[in-house]
Chains A and B, each alone.
Chain A
Amino acid sequence: MSVYDSLDSITEELHKCMKCGNCMAVCPIYKETRQEVGVARGKISLAEYILSGETEMTKGMGNRFSLCTTCMACNTNCPCGVRFDKIILAARAEAVRKKGLQSAKKIAFTALKMQRVFDFGMKAGSIFQGVALKNIPNRHSKLARMRVDVGIGKEKVFPMLAKKTLRSEFPEVIKVKNPKLRVGFFTGCMINYFYTDIGRAVIAVLRENDIEVVIPKFQACCGIPASVNGDVASARTLAKRNLRAFERIGADALVVACSSGGTAWKHVFGELLENDHELKALADKWAKKSYDISEFLIHQVPFKKEGLGRVARKVTYHEPCHLNRGQGISKEPREILKSIPGVELIEMKEPGRCCGMAGSFSLVHPDLSGQISDRKTADIQTTKTDTVATGCPACRLQLQSGVENAGFDEEVLHTVQILAESYRVGKEELKRSK
């Protein structure tokens, strides 16, 4: 029984908690609110009360369970080994079963399922977004702010929608001469619609390493925004669609450049489809060959060091929660950065501290998300670097927003973009020397 099906599935997980409160030391939300309900121990207690029947699932309970960025910092600090990420997913799924999705979220998720509508909406959006968003002059990338407050504040900075989605920019199969591998690229929504620059970097780096890249046109949203908010039905539909799209096209491996996408392919699809033998087998098969781009470049390729050109950047690295704690990938991006000539890596105070984005969390709790972000921004500023690298487009958005609002000059990039830059410079250097 998976956490998505029943609250009973987490009974043992709940019993493990001895209420020591060690989660208070690391919870980004509790640090801001200093209210017991903000921290894992508080929400574990609420889940226990519901399971024991002492109280029932209310809308108010659902709101309390929304207070979690699923950063998993409490998991790592828990002496009893409680997997709070499982507890929160189960509690949210239960809240949706009993009380329904909060209306705003529901609209967003239904749209995600209907990709054609979504595609059209996003494309139309890129033309008409000037109506809602106001351009911000920025040296590094196209950013915008909301013109009107639609309930998430006007503080948040958004990247402008791409003129063309990544998937329409490239053919389904990108051939190279003498390919040593054929790799499926799961783009995820943010890279497809907003941060196409990350997607182009992934493709360029893989091609540079003689890898054929395939990008199935009919891949869908990873479904994580749905599953973490308890919309299990939508998440299942999306999981099935993704598995079928990649199975049809076939590949030796699958890469993602987004921590949610990685989590989805490695863990969540299998859990969601646990009760369907055929699909579960398919999910497991793909889970085994799914890699984050940095993991793939270090352990599977391993990527070419010759041809790397000089990139003069002082870089600090922010760990996406679902890459670091979620997938155990922390050394790899640093290893990539350190191998690039000219890059100086300067660690920030708490690189593993959540940036507060947490997908839709930042839409539901914009103030809290902003407060958490401010701490991260301050830590970045103290490093006196010119670039923040990270491994997740959602973190990138939050970090960009923080840096922009604080008003200092710092470029926010995905690690793979800096690697792509280095290969590019390498080629230019070679051309010049000839």
Chain B
Amino acid sequence: MLAREVLEELVQVLGRENVLTEHEDLLTYAYDATAAMKHHKPDVVVAPLSTEQVADVVKIALRYHVPIYTRGSGTNLSGGTIPIEGGMVLSMLHLNKILEVDQDNLTATVQPGVIIQALNDEAAKHGLLYPPDPGTVTTATMGGSVSECSGGLRGLKYGVTKHYIMGLQMVLANGEVTRWGGKTVKNVTGYDLVALFTGAEGTLGIITEIIVKLIPAPEARKSMLAVFDDVDKAGRAIAAIIRNKVIPATLEILDNVTIQTVENFVHAGLPMDAEAVLLCEVDGYKEVVQREAVLVERIMKEEGAVQLKIAKDDKERDLLWLARRSALPALAQKRPTTVLEDATVPRSKIPDMLKAIRSIATKHNLQIATFGHAGDGNLHPTIITDERDAEEMKRVHLAVDEIFETALALGGTLSGEHGIGIAKMKYLNREFGEAGVAALKRIKEALDPNYLLNPGKIVRRD
């Protein structure tokens, strides 16, 4: 429970309607989209309307030692917004204005509560595009997306969120308002704190304004789907496409378990015994798209695709993508709990990773379906289970441990796009070693010595 004077000061700054204290409301901020996580109820939820109010709130929190858990839509998959130490949830959802789309500098300036899709809709009016497109594009906020450095389907060609963040306004843990970066392409003034705050999961500062880079929207696109009877052949096809200097906008893979589940769910016309399906989309100028599509088609055939479908129009494109779009829903409806991981390996190691995941599944007698962004090595091994089954959950955790071990052994990383949060904190040592984790901690303590911001995430206080 917070002291009465804390609440009174918060109400004074924000107005009563933007300070939630009733049990029934607080309970709904005790979780996020991460599966099988312990819930923690905050003591208060506040929703500021301006950067100044955010700064005032931080100063109050600092004075009374109240932890601050900054939250957008709460769609992350790492426990990143769960208020594990109680205290305050800082909802950024009322800061939801697109402040500017600057066609001359190809930038947009937005508040952190803007939904990614809303920015895209606005950019599209000017023939522009904000490329990062996580699966939560219609629900996640820009603030959350920058804080988690989310990826998505277009990573291979267009990169991820961090490649599009040019400037940030931040409220620091001491309540000071600062600006880093801006609209210039080049900027080497001081340390690159824009890069540091992007993906910091709200542990180093609070984002109150974001300047993003926009690009001209590609003129045309073409999708194709290739079916393989062997994972290695699919792997070789991926490598061959890149080796031939084609960089598709998206290159997705579905493994056999996913294919079977999807097929039972939507009847997309995929062969049940297929070992892998590759979905590829090239985009750009019409002429380039035409040339690249022909090339990809040839490569798929040469590498032994047993079936190849090419979309002639948008309608056929949607049909091809149906299988990929349905992957998560199909899996999620099979069992109540869906543990979605994002271990990532260099793309040349995709076949090894797929095979390793399959043997882990057999070893622990679990259903693991794998799909994901083959082009950038970011796979989503998805364990479908039931969190009410304690014994099975034990095996799930063992399998997750082994998936991470394998990814690291193959030269990969713990997390491609979901972040560390609480969920993967215990594995950090294995990727960085103790010295690495200690360095992260020194950065945290330099900017937030009192562990005020999202405490208990990424690094733990001693």
Contact = CB atoms under 8 A, between A and B. Distances in A.
Interface in A218-274: none
A18 B33 contact: yes
B462 interface: no
Contact of B333 (A41, A49, A80): A80
Q: Choose among B28, B32, B73, B139 the residue with the greatest number of A CB atoms under 10 Å from its CB.
A: B28
A51 interface: no
B35 A58 contact: no
B287 interface: no
B138 interface: yes
Nearest to A34: B93
B61 interface: no
Given A24-B139, A34-B93, A60 B332 contact: no
B31 interface: yes
A35 B25 contact: yes
Interface string A33-50: 011110001110110010
Given A37-B25, A81-B333, A18 B31 contact: no
Nearest to B25: A37
B334 to A, nearest CB: 10
Contacts of B93: 34
B415 interface: no
A55 B22 CA distance: 13
A25 B138 contact: yes
Interface in B299-342: 328-329, 332-333, 336-338
A61 B24 contact: yes
B329 A80 contact: yes
B74 A21 contact: yes
Contacts of B33: 18-21
A24 B136 CA distance: 10
Contact of A34 (B75, B94, B332): B94
Contact of A45 (B23, B30, B47, B73): B30
A60 B22 contact: yes
Nearest to B387: A15
Nearest to B334: A80
A42 B332 contact: no
Interface string B324-368: 000011001100111000000000000000000000000000000
B177 interface: no
A20 B139 CA distance: 9
Contacts of A25: 117, 138-139
B437 to A, nearest CB: 29
Interface residues of A, number: 28
Contacts of B195: none
Contacts of B91: 34-35
A231 B73 CA distance: 34
Given A15-B336, A21-B74, A49-B27, A34 B329 contact: no
A46 B75 contact: no
Contacts of B96: 34
A60 B32 contact: no
Interface in A43-87: 43, 45-46, 49, 55, 58, 60-61, 63-64, 79-81
Contact of A35 (B20, B139, B388): B20
B10 to A, nearest CB: 16
Given A18-B35, A46-B28, A55-B23, A79 B73 contact: no
B139 A21 contact: yes
A79 B328 contact: yes
A217 interface: no
A22 interface: yes
Contacts, number: 85
Interface string B20-63: 10111101111111110000000000010000000000000000
Contacts of A19: 31-35
Contact of B28 (A18, A22, A42): A42
A79 B20 CA distance: 30
A277 to B, nearest CB: 33
Given A18-B33, A25-B138, A36-B74, A58 B336 contact: no
Question: Chain A: interface secondary structure?
Answer: helix
A35 B29 CA distance: 9
A21 B328 CA distance: 14
A45 B31 contact: yes
Contacts of B22: 60
A24 B74 CA distance: 10
Contacts of A58: 23-24
Nearest to B75: A21
Interface string A313-328: 0000000000000000
A43 B27 CA distance: 10
A16 interface: yes
A37 B47 CA distance: 14
Contacts of A22: 136, 138-139
B178 to A, nearest CB: 26
Nearest to B336: A15
B24 A18 contact: no
Contacts of B32: 19
B139 A36 contact: no
Contacts of A21: 33, 73-75, 136, 139
A36 B139 CA distance: 12
A114 to B, nearest CB: 34
A142 B433 CA distance: 77
Nearest to B138: A25
Given A24-B139, A35-B20, A45 B35 contact: no
Given A16-B333, A20-B33, A79-B328, A37 B139 contact: no
A79 B30 CA distance: 22
A168 B113 CA distance: 55
Contacts of A79: 328-329, 332-333
Nearest to B338: A18
A124 to B, nearest CB: 40
A49 B31 CA distance: 12
Query: Looking at B32, B96, B336, which has the most chain A CB atoms within 10 Å of its CB?
Result: B336
Nearest to B325: A79
Contacts of A24: 73, 75, 139
A129 to B, nearest CB: 35
Given A20-B33, A81-B333, 16 more contacts: A15-B336, A15-B388, A24-B139, A34-B96, A35-B25, A35-B47, A36-B74, A37-B28, A41-B28, A43-B28, A45-B28, A46-B27, A49-B27, A61-B24, A64-B25, A79-B332
Interface of B: 20, 22-25, 27-35, 47, 73-75, 91, 93-94, 96, 113, 117, 136, 138-139, 328-329, 332-333, 336-338, 386, 388
Q: Please give me the 6 A-B residue pairs with the lowest Cβ-Cβ distance, nearest first.
A: A79-B329, A42-B28, A34-B93, A36-B28, A25-B138, A15-B336
Interface of A: 15-16, 18-22, 24-25, 34-37, 41-43, 45-46, 49, 55, 58, 60-61, 63-64, 79-81
21 contacts: A15-B336, A15-B386, A18-B33, A19-B31, A19-B33, A21-B136, A34-B94, A34-B113, A35-B20, A35-B28, A35-B47, A35-B91, A36-B74, A37-B24, A37-B25, A37-B28, A42-B28, A45-B28, A46-B27, A58-B24, A60-B22
